[in-house]
A and B are shown apart, each in its own frame.
Chain A
Amino acid sequence: MGEIERTATSALEQQQRVWEYATAPEARDIVRLEDRYDLFVGGRFVEPRSGRYFETINPATEEPLAEVAEANEEDVDLAARTAREAWEERWRDLPGKERAKYLYRIARALQERSREFAVLETMNNGKPIKESRDVDVPLAAAHFFYYAGWADKLDYAFPGRAPRPLGVAAQITPWNFPLLMCAWKLAPALATGNTAILKPASTTPLTALLLAEVIEQAELPPGVVNVIPGPGGKTGGWLAAHPAIAKIAFTGSTDIGKVLRRNVAGTGKRLTLELGGKAANIVFEDAALDQAVEGIINGIFFNQGEVCCAGSRLFVQESVFEPLLDKLKARLDTLRVGDPLDKNTDVGAINSRDQLRKIEELVQSGLEEGAEMYQPDCDLPERGFWFRPTLFTNVSQSHRIAREEIFGPVLSILTFRTPQEAVEKANNTEYGLSAGIWTEKGSRILWMAERMKAGVVWANTFNRFDPTSPFGGYKESGFGREGGRHGLEPYLDLDGASAEGGDGA
């Protein structure tokens, strides 16, 4: 064996040693799971009139975590009437500065119990603990803190108007960021003087119920926040249809969003929809490639790609396609897939068996339509729902994997030659939630940003979220904005159209 060959081998060995990690599991004992969770209605936990409970599991192990009450039509009706009464009698006329203090309390409690929320979120959702710990929970607390500050400043948000709350808001949240989406929904609704009924996703109800406990401990007036888990189609449907509801905020799939839009038609209910996406992440030849690689990886593998704004379509300028692909594959090989409670894990479990099947089906279509697949050779746990980080090259714009939202760790890579071509390809989708631009040229960032039909454009970064920053889609990715000053508007009557509006001051 020659000297050079030996050196190469030892370098490889060294590299493998570098990437071997001892397990570093986060302790679970901070979470005290109940056997059974009831509905949270009228300021306390109550048994469901349905008499029914459903099981919620840990998707990384398939072990049952708890039984959760399922709200039927009668439960929905009780929650709606309770929330309406709370609005009329205990909330709409409360001065903004006092509403603010309740929201500050919730923010502080989330901060104080942050590790508990993070561990529970990871157990119920499957996302890596480093994400629930560093992203989901701190952002959720920050949302409450931010909107708390708005509660007594609404006149400044809408000069020349006298903003008034709408009434009861029905808030239907998805399973990908279970707690954070509750915060995105509840914080602006409460700050603007509405009461709320939260319907968390059926596979991930536990942090919403722990949040209900926090709300109880924060001593919010009874009925201001109600939490009623149940299947989206049934419980969510009854909730949206209830006459006591003035506003519906939904985050979820475009299909369900369209159903809701149809069902609400003619009722005069206010609606905001945050739906699917198929974001273009566009890399120009002058981009800082190593930085771009990190952004691409984060863009599609953050939260296993179960992100509506995931950068699932990568557009690479032809001249840098090969070096970028090599770097991406090398980076993919280093991703650690496995136990979400391990602090080193990069990619956790897929949230449910149904979602895993959907990903598998779309990946199969990619192979059948002629795209080339690359996956790292990593071990997957035996139990639970897992999918390897996946790249597709040789993808055509007409392929299903370039058109449909996969909601999984699957990246489709396409190429372009000119900025104009990048714009046309990026906008060639019915979605319009987010986009990414990678270039060292500032004027090009702004030129591209102006042309992207997307509600959020990230330049030389991706998947950044902040309570002060509005988020939401163009086209079939939905309408309305969450976050920032703009996130107040969907919960307010600014033109006196709502005869029932209370005093928003």
Chain B
Amino acid sequence: MSEGARVPVRRTAKLFIAGGFPRSESGRSYEVFSHDGRLLAWAARASRKDLRDAVRAARAAQPGWAGRTAYNRGQILYRVAELMEGRRAQFEAELADVGAADPRRGVEAAIDRWVWYAGWADKISQVLGGTNPVAGPYFNFTIPEPTGVVGIVAPQDQALLGLVSRVAPAIASGNTVVVIASERSPLPAVSLTEVLGTSDVPAGVVNLLTGYTRELVPWLAGHMDVNAIDVTGVPEDLLPQVEELAAENVKRVHRAPRVDPFSDEAQSPYEITALMEFKTVWHPMGA
């Protein structure tokens, strides 16, 4: 048998929940096409039950992740970059499939974005926290803390860089996340979960669902155990409904700055603090 006759093994694109890779409990999937109309794969079409499982996994993982030292979280984010670097060819091929203008640049920018946010993990409180000179014998300081479980609706385009730009700042501070991947281009996101699954990121810190955005978003926005929602990938016409649903448990609603995702303006410490709470501590001073 000649070399060329070998039949390649295809990957099953699955969800990523609690560190595992389940199919949708609903048994549903949907077809994913390349920009030129080739059938690339069937992606899992996550259900409401899958979403609730993902939130539960994120909630369970959150105290442990926030309890890691900032140094440790930084190293783990950096490790994600290390492992992505080793899978560049795969990511580039996937970006080419979805018709990215410059797949190589997209992958490099995504890796560098992990490195950039890795560095913030142990600096954010130095830059954006501080002591407050109150007029009295008190030591008073303010520190940013993660808000908890964050729902992220990833942008529909920029399937890799757009996704990384939302996930990295959210988890750098100690949040855990439930991500709804780009409906049209979910495969780079699925590959990213395979990197995350082997990067020392604890199970449940990142959970990723593929499926129909319009179906999943209201469930995420209305979930009472989600503390904040990043609406970057929410279709415009759905946004009022999402904000209304978010009101029920006063979710923080945040969206990415509308700038070129490759630019320096697309990365910012304020993307981290947008998903944090500021806590102020008073302590008396006296002999």
Contacts and interface: CB of A to CB of B under 8 A. Distances in A.
Q: Do A and B bind each other?
A: yes
Interface of A: 97, 100-101, 104, 142, 145-146, 148-153, 156-157, 419-420, 442-444, 446-448, 450, 467-468, 484-485
Given A100-B119, A152-B119, A443-B286, A157 B127 contact: yes
Nearest to B79: A108
B67 interface: no
B122 A443 contact: no
A447 B127 contact: no
Given A149-B118, A149-B119, A444-B286, 12 more contacts: A104-B115, A142-B71, A150-B123, A153-B269, A157-B127, A446-B283, A447-B285, A448-B287, A467-B71, A468-B70, A468-B122, A485-B127
Contact of B283 (A97, A443, A467): A443
17 contacts: A145-B75, A146-B122, A148-B119, A149-B118, A149-B120, A153-B116, A153-B123, A157-B127, A419-B287, A442-B284, A446-B139, A446-B283, A446-B285, A447-B286, A447-B287, A468-B126, A485-B127
Given A443-B285, A446-B283, A145 B120 contact: no
Contacts of A150: 119, 123
Contacts of A146: 71, 122
Contacts of A420: 287
Contacts of B123: 149-150, 153, 156, 468, 485
Given A149-B74, A485-B127, A450 B122 contact: no
B145 interface: no
Contacts of B116: 97, 152-153
A100 B78 CA distance: 12
Contacts of A448: 287
B112 interface: yes
A45 B196 CA distance: 40
A103 to B, nearest CB: 10
Contact of B284 (A142, A148, A443, A467): A443
Contact of B126 (A101, A151, A485): A485
A113 B285 CA distance: 45
A419 B121 CA distance: 38
A127 B285 CA distance: 39
B165 to A, nearest CB: 15
A451 to B, nearest CB: 9
Contact of A442 (B118, B119, B283): B283
Name, among A148, A443, A444, A467, the residue most crowded by chain B CB atoms within 10 Å (CB to CB).
A443
B79 to A, nearest CB: 10
B45 to A, nearest CB: 38
A484 B285 contact: no
A339 B104 CA distance: 54
A19 B215 CA distance: 68
A97 B71 contact: no
Interface string B257-287: 0000000000001000000000000011111
A145 B74 contact: yes
Interface string B116-136: 101111110011000000000
Contacts of B75: 145
B115 A101 contact: yes
Contacts of B121: 149
A446 to B, nearest CB: 4
Contact of B71 (A104, A145, A153, A442): A145
Would you list the 10 A-B pairs with minimal beta carbon distance, nearest first? A149-B119, A446-B285, A419-B287, A443-B284, A443-B286, A446-B139, A447-B287, A447-B285, A485-B126, A447-B286
Given A142-B71, A485-B126, A450 B119 contact: no
Contact of A484 (B120, B126, B283, B286): B126
Nearest to A153: B119
Contact of B115 (A97, A157, A446): A97
A71 B78 CA distance: 38
A308 to B, nearest CB: 24
A302 to B, nearest CB: 21
A22 B44 CA distance: 59
A150 B124 CA distance: 11
A153 B287 contact: no
A286 to B, nearest CB: 12
A446 B286 CA distance: 7
A333 B131 CA distance: 43
Interface in B2-42: none
Contacts of B269: 153, 156
B122 A156 contact: no
Name, among A142, A151, A467, the residue most crowded by chain B CB atoms within 10 Å (CB to CB).
A142
Contacts of A152: 116, 119
A151 B112 CA distance: 13
Name, among B78, B119, B284, the residue most crowded by chain A CB atoms within 10 Å (CB to CB).
B119
Contacts of B119: 100, 148-153
Nearest to B284: A443
Nearest to A450: B285
B111 to A, nearest CB: 10
Nearest to A149: B119
A157 B283 CA distance: 27
B120 A153 contact: yes
A484 B70 CA distance: 13
A104 B119 CA distance: 10
A419 B286 CA distance: 10
A149 B70 CA distance: 12
A156 B30 CA distance: 44
B239 to A, nearest CB: 30
A51 to B, nearest CB: 44
A151 to B, nearest CB: 8
A446 B287 CA distance: 8
A435 B155 CA distance: 52
Contact of A444 (B112, B115, B120, B287): B287
A251 to B, nearest CB: 23
A280 B126 CA distance: 28
Interface string B187-222: 000000000000000000000000000000000000
